[in-house]
Amino acid sequence: MGATVPETKWWGWGDTARARSLESLPELRAFLRQALDLPDTVEPLRVPDAESIRLPPTHLAAGDADALRDLLGRDAVSDAPMERLRHACGKGYRDLVRLRLGDVAAAPDLVLFPGSEADVGKVLAFCAERGVAVVPFGGGTSVVGGVEVSDPSRPHATLDLRRMARLLQVDGTSLTATAEAGIFGPALEAQLAAQGVGLGHFPQSFEYSTLGGWIASRSTGAFSNRYGKIEDLVVDVRLLAPTGVHDLRGRPRHAMGPDLVALAVGSEGTLGVITRATVRVHRTPEARKFESVLFPGFEQGLEALRGMAQEGMSPDLAYLDDEDETRLSVAAAGGSKTATALLRLRGITLDRASLAYFGYEGSRESVSRRFGLGRSYWRPGVAAGPGPAERWMESRFVTPYVRDSLIEHRVLVDTVETAALWSNVERVHAAVRRAFHAAVAAVGVPGWIGCHVSHIYSEGASLYFTFMARQRRGEELTQYDAVKRAVTRAILDGGGQLSHHHGIGSEHAPYFREAIGDENWRLLRELKRTLDPRGIMNPGKIFPVGA
């Protein structure tokens, strides 16, 4: 079976045929007008013609492109401006604003489409020899600058893995599946479903991201409490480093020295190219069941989540909005008279409530029993039925389209995420909010920040912040940098992880050494030197350029 590659926008999120404008969401628009003091009309930040964007001239030595065409075939090598543009950056706020501003200071000189591991091997050998940097590219949905050209002084070839997208094997007895790294989420799940199994890894980027990208960036999906982060799902990985082919075997468990699979997971293209992986799969669930609960406050919701996580009773999906994000969710849904009435009975103010979604899947019996057991943890809150949770599930993949429209309306909108021990979750939450509000005040615009927990562990939880503010025209990027710097500083100073599932990329690279400590940083640097002695693999990611 061949690749199924979604046709996507070069300038924004996802499917060219799909859009969700702010105009189509009057309640959200009203909420933001108030929260961000948005003007009634604004001159849109429009998408320019692709042809009008000036790409930097090529850095490649004469003959290198032709040599690569000889190695891979003509149709596997492109220097067309449209391909260079499409592979110039990821899908973070910074990326999408730069594209709209026509500010593409760096782009790969070539885009390569290898069809096999042999092709990848040839590319790595050639590029090591010629000093050409290689950027592995899956779906290109990085929001931390993971696929951009960070060192414009060097020639770059981006390695788009979309042609390496076969499901290679399903072991129905061991419940494992082996696939090439370039397979996209929907194609993988569809082919697995045809064999009665599934991976169950649904990051928000699911439709436009790949197996290899998930592994390279340590991604996490909606049902993570059941299936784990991608590192929990990985059995084996093949990593093609410039120095050789690493077949990393992890499962079933072993006591054979340090776990080397763990070096490939999260390597973000800096150690080599992940070309294939074997992952755990599970039989297609018989049933799914959701519930929505309004807690009297975020603190009470956190207590419920912690109780469930620490007593082995985590719902497969557990999602908890803080008070601000709840207000946004309720407003965007057009408010809810029923919810308000229900809450009043229990003395909960909707304005201070904290909204949670819980989801279960598996056999009918398991879903029904676990759902029943979950109830005792929700008791401090008011159950609001499956509706809001189901609507949230449906709308998850739509939200990034709304972001495109917000940017067009000149709204600064981004997310940062972290994870903290339970004893530290509320402190990090408060610190990030404080830092954000101070930062937007310094910039001189009103801002809004909300947060949710979406992944829980016995020792702690993730915190996912969404923030918005009015763009200052002409200062779009400096304003963003100031805000992002402030919230990142608050996370690190508060003891949170630099990232829980977005990764480091180039955007967090300046903080990486501080986050993991000098000695560990040096160790990882040496590890990179061992696997990539010429330093061709994805320069500027994880390690800043020149580090």
Taking alpha carbons only, the member of 114, 131, 33 closest to residue 123 is 114
User: What's the DSSP call for residue 25?
Assistant: -
Could you tell me the smallest distance in angstroms from the CB atom of residue 378 to a second copy?
16
Q: Which of 178, 243, 284, 340 binds a second copy (CB under 8 A)?
A: 243
User: Do residues 213 and 219 lie in contact, with contact meaning Cβ atoms separated by under 8 Å?
Assistant: yes
Task: Pick the piece of the chain touching a second copy (CB under 8 A) from 85-93, 214-222, 288-296, 431-439.
Answer: 214-222
**Residue of 360, 401, 464, 480 with catalytic role:** 464
Which residue's CB is nearer to a second copy, number 358 or number 457? 457
Rg over alpha carbons for the chain, rounded to the nearest Å, is 23
Token pair of 326 as six digits: 């709840």
Please give the backbone phi and psi of residue 345, each rounded to the nearest 5 degrees, phi first.
-55, -35
Question: How many residues in the shown chain lie near a second copy by CB under 8 A?
Answer: 88
User: Do residues 278 and 177 lie in contact, with contact meaning Cβ atoms separated by under 8 Å?
Assistant: yes
Residue 411 identity (one-letter amino acid): V
Token pair of 295 as six digits: 């807690």
What track of x and - describes contact with a second copy for positions 108 through 147 (by CB under 8 A)? ----------------------------------------
Torsion of CA 417, 502, 313, 432, to 10 degrees: -10
- What residues between 436 and 455 interact with a second copy by CB under 8 A? 455
Q: How far apart are CA 148 and CA 150, in angstroms?
A: 6
- What residues between 253 and 282 interact with a second copy by CB under 8 A? 253-260, 262-268, 271, 280, 282
- Our finding on whether 460 is near a second copy (CB under 8 A) is yes
Is 464 among the catalytic positions?
yes
Task: Pick the piece of the chain touching a second copy (CB under 8 A) from 132-140, 343-351, 418-426, 432-440.
Answer: 418-426
- Our finding on whether 283 is near a second copy (CB under 8 A) is yes
Q: Which of 141, 209, 462, 466 binds a second copy (CB under 8 A)?
A: 462
Task: Pick the piece of the chain touching a second copy (CB under 8 A) from 60-68, 186-194, 388-396, 513-521.
Answer: 513-521
Task: Pick the piece of the chain touching a second copy (CB under 8 A) from 90-98, 129-137, 459-467, 474-482.
Answer: 459-467
Q: How far apart are CA 478 and CA 86, in angstroms?
A: 24
- Our finding on whether 217 is near a second copy (CB under 8 A) is yes
How does 413-447 read in b/e, with b if 16+ C-beta sit within 10 Å?
A: bbbbbbbbebebbeebbebbbebbbebbeebebeb
Q: How far apart are CA 242 and CA 257, in angstroms?
A: 24
- What residues between 465 and 504 interact with a second copy by CB under 8 A? 497-504
Residue 211 identity (one-letter amino acid): L
Which residue's CB is nearer to a second copy, number 184 or number 512? 512
- Our finding on whether 251 is near a second copy (CB under 8 A) is yes
Q: Which of 175, 190, 342, 482 binds a second copy (CB under 8 A)?
A: 175
- What residues between 298 and 317 interact with a second copy by CB under 8 A? 306, 310-313
Please give the backbone phi and psi of residue 321, each rounded to the nearest 5 degrees, phi first.
-80, 145
Q: How far apart are CA 207 and CA 228, in angstroms?
A: 19
Q: Which of 2, 57, 252, 546 binds a second copy (CB under 8 A)?
A: 252
Bond prior to 446 in cis (omega within 30° of 0): no
Which residue's CB is nearer to a second copy, number 9 or number 226? 226
Q: How far apart are CA 509 and CA 504, in angstroms?
A: 6
Q: Which of 30, 190, 482, 527 binds a second copy (CB under 8 A)?
A: 527
Residues in the chain: 547
- What residues between 29 and 58 interact with a second copy by CB under 8 A? none
Could you tell me the smallest distance in angstroms from the CB atom of residue 181 to a second copy?
17
Active-site residues, by number, are 464
